[in-house]
Amino acid sequence: MMEQRPLGRSGFAVSGLGLGTMVLGSWGNTDLDECHRIINRAIDSGINLVDTADMYGEGENEQLVGAALRHRRDEVVLCTKFHHPVGHHDDPTRRGNSRQWIEQAVDDSLRRLGVDHIDVYQAHRPDPDVPLEETIGALTDLVAAGKIRAWGTSTFPAEDLVQAHWIADRTGGQPSVSEQPPYSILCRGIEGDVLPTARLLDIGVICWSPLSGGWLTGKYTRHNPMPSGSRGATNPDHFDGGNEAKFDAVEALSVIAAEAGLSPAHLALAWIREHPAVTAALIGPRTEAQLEDLLGAAEVHLSSDVLDAIDEVVPPGTTVNPADAGWIPPGLAVAQRRRSTRP
């Protein structure tokens, strides 16, 4: 069995590696039989954390995950997310973190997943247009109704985590049990605030993009920046293939991995799990072969010398490309920084 850790105060114990399913289905592997095999093989290996979102594949991903789990629902901690619109539309009421949208979105997710409850229901991003009191009140009511067991956040800044904790305590609401931030050797910004805050408030941390969209597998090189089938080739709008700083870092990290007798991917995943605030790292394999390779990282532990060498390549708290942080605070908008918008 894979090592398990408590997910904050949720009462759930989850595996150190979780399965992120975003690239299963129309956003990646369209072979549904193989997708089902990937999910079931992950569970067989000891992974009990399965993460999806309503927006992945415009809802199709939740349907795929639900079908794969039809006879294994009780073996997993099932997580999904709300916030982004599902499908292409301009209706402002069908997105965000308002009570109105949460109440509709959770029923939609339950129907697509084919389950009677969601274990951890996560706000996919902050919503500066909706008071946190409203969001927490709606999620607290969903817990009371039995539609969700607990709720969490994704890519929230530390100050929002603190505010949410304070609001829940003041109003008698359900506190957040988890935060899902972007975290990798190339994206370390949360080390300065989000991770210490999570430890302080006993919030579980489930990290997305631990391989930085494939950069930390070593498959992207200066001579072949977008190999066929890679995230760089399928999602070029989200891939900074000309980032020389990343190429420099990946080349140095590959040397560290080789000296430690590890693949770059195993080094990156093991590094994530060494942080005491981290509960789990989400792997997102597109194929069965990728899954089998990534599972090998579950038992890897890094020495202090290796960790120190990694810090020399990418210093603590550094995010090589700020865009990888996944969310831009609204306070950085021009209208929020200037008393006047005069030319």
The candidate with the shortest Cα–Cα distance to 205, out of 217, 219, 194, 192, is 194
Q: Say what angle helices 288-295 and 264-274 make with each other, to 10 degrees.
A: 50
Tokens representing residue 111 in the block = 């129907």
3-state secondary structure the chain: CCCEEECCCCCCEEECEEEECCCECCCCECCHHHHHHHHHHHHHCCCCEEECCCCHHHHHHHHHHHHHCCCCHHHCEEEEEECCCCCCCCCCCCCCCCHHHHHHHHHHHHHHHCCCCEEEEEECCCCCCCCHHHHHHHHHHHHHHCCEEEEEEECCCHHHHHHHHHHHHHHCCCCCCEEECECECCECHHHHCHHHHHHHHCCEEEEECCCHHHHHHCCCCCCCCCCCCCHHHHCHHHCCCCCHHHHHHHHHHHHHHHHCCCCHHHHHHHHHHHCCCCCEEEECCCCHHHHHHHHHHHHCCCCHHHHHHHHHHCCCCCECCHHHHCCCCHHHCHHHHCCCCCC
Question: Does the annotation count 220 as an active-site position?
Answer: no
Could you give the angle at the alpha carbon of 61 between the alpha carbons of 288 and 113, nearest 5°?
115
Burial class, 338, CB count within 10 angstroms (exposed 0-12 / middle 13-18 / buried 19+):
exposed
Active-site residue, from 56, 121, 183, 220: 56
Tokens representing residue 140 in the block = 């607290």
Residues designated catalytic: 56
